[in-house]
Structure 1
Amino acid sequence: MVRLIFSDLDDTFLATDKTIPDKNREMLEEACGRGIQFVPCTGRNTNGIPSSIAEYGCVHYAICCNGALVADLDRGEVIHEVDIEKEEVHQLFRALEGLPITFDLFADGHVLTAEDRWRFLDEIPVTEPTRIHIKEVRTCYPGSVEDMIDAAKNICRINIFYLDNDTRDRVWEAVDSFSDLIRASSQPCNVEVTKNGADKGAGLLWLADHLGVPVEETVAFGDSSNDIAMLKAAGDGVAVANARPECLAAADHIAQSNDKGGVGLYMEELLRRQ
């Protein structure tokens, strides 16, 4: 029996144009009727959870920032957070300062990009709907990255967009030099940095335990490397057909693509047997 559904948003639950496919909407309505909770499990911060999802009666919690943060959406509260120490954030930035990258901070319920690096958001190789979303959920910080780090209260994730593979390799090398940091990605041009142990799988396990739900009664959906830990942690880990090869390899099952409403179609069949 399924009691908790965890799903990545971009390119998994959401279509490529960032809309919700009809089959996924039907699934949310079915979940409401059955008392099954749907948990967005995303790299986004809390300000990036679409109201068109949060408004459903089966949506009470969200796992954000790649698992570094768990939010109670009904109360508007963060109930679990794993932060990166500020000095460590400064050290990582200083190792990368001269590169043509963003250095976005997921902090205090927002995503911050320093004004002198905002221009890179118009240069990264992403689809236009993705670019629009990236810019909509970010706040342009009127100062330097160093000032931005100092002004933040709690930093739970760093996102770095880069423009070429050489820069990517240098970013990876710098992140890997910190033994207590981990990296993943959701786009071909980004690196997502959290504290070691703060991933979507850890977020899933924490929330399931918090709600008293056995892991065997959870199902999770994803498409990218930042979803792999979640697929492995869930009772049933499902990759959508458009997922990256490493995500497909980690999954227990494969659903149809995000644009076809693969999450809803898979759950329709699963709930029919329940």
Structure 2
Amino acid sequence: MSKIKLVAMDLDNTLLDSEKQISKHTEEVLKEAIRRGVYIVPATGRIFKAIPEFLRDIPGVRYAVCCNGATVYDQKEDKIIYTNHLPKETVFSLFDILEKYHCTRDIYQNGQGYMERCYFDHLAEYGVSDHVLKLVRDTRLPLDDLRKYIEEHPLGIEKINVFFDDMEERETARQELIEKNIASVSSSLENNIEINQIGCDKGDGLLHLAEQIGLSMDEVMACGDAGNDTMMIKAVGTGVVMENGQPDLKEIADFVTKTNNEDGVAYAIEKLVFEA
């Protein structure tokens, strides 16, 4: 019998295929895992309402690790069980750095995204397109002055999101942000940077969730593909990385599964949970 009692999974390029969907087979595997008493937990850089409805509505999907671990949410009780948010002063210091670069800036705060209209109306200029463009437009409210808004509403800032059209500039900005050492810096897409409170990551969020429901991290499996999944893969007892995942992430995996377009999460659950 498998020791795994909770399976956490990133969404983009992990659970979701290239069309941002899951197959019928993957859906059935998730439901079967729940029937066997395994917690199925989305662990994402997204806010909760940006988790696809078809996943949120699967009976038994109760918990979610959102915004890279900044907020852990209990859907059944409609309550937040853990937060690790950015203070206003840190946000403004990070904005000061980002203003030197040609990039967007927005925040997730208390489950809602906010972006200045000058970026919201010109997302294509920053390399935002296709499914990501739709997601941004669906989850951000446009504002005229984000700094002013934060001054008036400073609490609950979960994450800063940044998009670049120039990858060399993105890398320069990423290095400067890391060297500043006032926040956690990661990414989920090749053209973005995601910034959280220092010490905030999916692994930390999962640790607090596991403690809440009485599990050890040895009983947790996590699936991911990108930089913002690194600490989660390291923290759990069984770290699974997609075949389409970043090479450095695959090096630390306990198991490399099939790609996100080949039901890779379902395959890992079948091999490591059902057949163990």
TM-score when normalising by structure 1: 0.94
Partner of 1:15 in structure 2? 17
Q: Percent identity?
A: 32
TM-aligned CA deviation for residue 98 of structure 1? 4.3
Which SS does the other structure have where 1:100 is aligned? coil
Q: Please tell me whether the aligned partners of residues 114 and 146 of structure 2 are also in contact (alpha carbons under 8 angstroms).
A: no
Partner of 1:259 in structure 2? 261
- Distance in 2 (CA, whole Å) between partners of 1:139 and 1:74 is 26
- Distance in 2 (CA, whole Å) between partners of 1:35 and 1:229 is 25
- Distance in 2 (CA, whole Å) between partners of 1:256 and 1:219 is 16
Q: Please tell me whether the aligned partners of residues 71 and 80 of structure 1 are also in contact (alpha carbons under 8 angstroms).
A: yes
Partner of 2:148 in structure 1? 147
- Distance in 2 (CA, whole Å) between partners of 1:134 and 1:241 is 27
Q: Please tell me whether the aligned partners of residues 116 and 144 of structure 1 are also in contact (alpha carbons under 8 angstroms).
A: no
Q: Which of 38, 60, 69 pairs up with 2:62?
A: 60
Which SS does the other structure have where 1:147 is aligned? helix
Partner of 2:188 in structure 1? 186
TM-aligned CA deviation for residue 121 of structure 1? 2.1
Q: Please tell me whether the aligned partners of residues 103 and 113 of structure 1 are also in contact (alpha carbons under 8 angstroms).
A: yes
- Distance in 1 (CA, whole Å) between partners of 2:20 and 2:258 is 17
- Distance in 2 (CA, whole Å) between partners of 1:23 and 1:237 is 22
TM-aligned CA deviation for residue 200 of structure 1? 0.7
Q: Please tell me whether the aligned partners of residues 41 and 62 of structure 2 are also in contact (alpha carbons under 8 angstroms).
A: yes
Q: Deviations over 1:181-227 (max 9, x none)?
A: 11000111111111121101111111111111121111110000110
Q: Which of 172, 175, 178 pairs up with 2:174?
A: 172
TM-aligned CA deviation for residue 126 of structure 1? 5.3
Residue type of the alignment partner of 1:210: Q
- Distance in 2 (CA, whole Å) between partners of 1:166 and 1:267 is 38
Partner of 1:110 in structure 2? 112
Equivalent residues, number: 273
Distance 1:29 1:80, change over 3 A: same
Which SS does the other structure have where 2:180 is aligned? coil
Write the mapping of 1:1-274 to structure 2, written as runs, cut at 5 A.
Answer: 1-125=3-127, 128-141=130-143, 143-152=144-153, 153-274=155-276
Query: After alignment, is 242-251 or 220-229 more displaced?
Result: 242-251
TM-score when normalising by structure 2: 0.93
Q: Please tell me whether the aligned partners of residues 21 and 259 of structure 1 are also in contact (alpha carbons under 8 angstroms).
A: no
Distance 1:98 1:196, change over 3 A: closer
Which SS does the other structure have where 1:35 is aligned? coil
Q: Please tell me whether the aligned partners of residues 221 and 238 of structure 2 are also in contact (alpha carbons under 8 angstroms).
A: yes
- Distance in 1 (CA, whole Å) between partners of 2:152 and 2:193 is 23
- Distance in 1 (CA, whole Å) between partners of 2:216 and 2:90 is 35
- Distance in 1 (CA, whole Å) between partners of 2:85 and 2:273 is 37
Q: Please tell me whether the aligned partners of residues 161 and 189 of structure 1 are also in contact (alpha carbons under 8 angstroms).
A: yes
Residue type of the alignment partner of 2:112: H
Which SS does the other structure have where 1:123 is aligned? helix
Residue type of the alignment partner of 1:203: G
Q: Deviations over 1:100-122 (max 9, x none)?
A: 21111010111111111114422
TM-aligned CA deviation for residue 131 of structure 1? 2.2
Query: After alignment, is 175-184 or 44-53 more displaced?
Result: 175-184
Residue type of the alignment partner of 2:106: D
Q: Please tell me whether the aligned partners of residues 127 and 164 of structure 2 are also in contact (alpha carbons under 8 angstroms).
A: no
Which SS does the other structure have where 1:186 is aligned? coil
Which SS does the other structure have where 1:242 is aligned? coil
Q: Please tell me whether the aligned partners of residues 32 and 56 of structure 1 are also in contact (alpha carbons under 8 angstroms).
A: no
Which SS does the other structure have where 2:165 is aligned? coil
The alignment yields a C-alpha RMSD, in angstroms, of 1.6
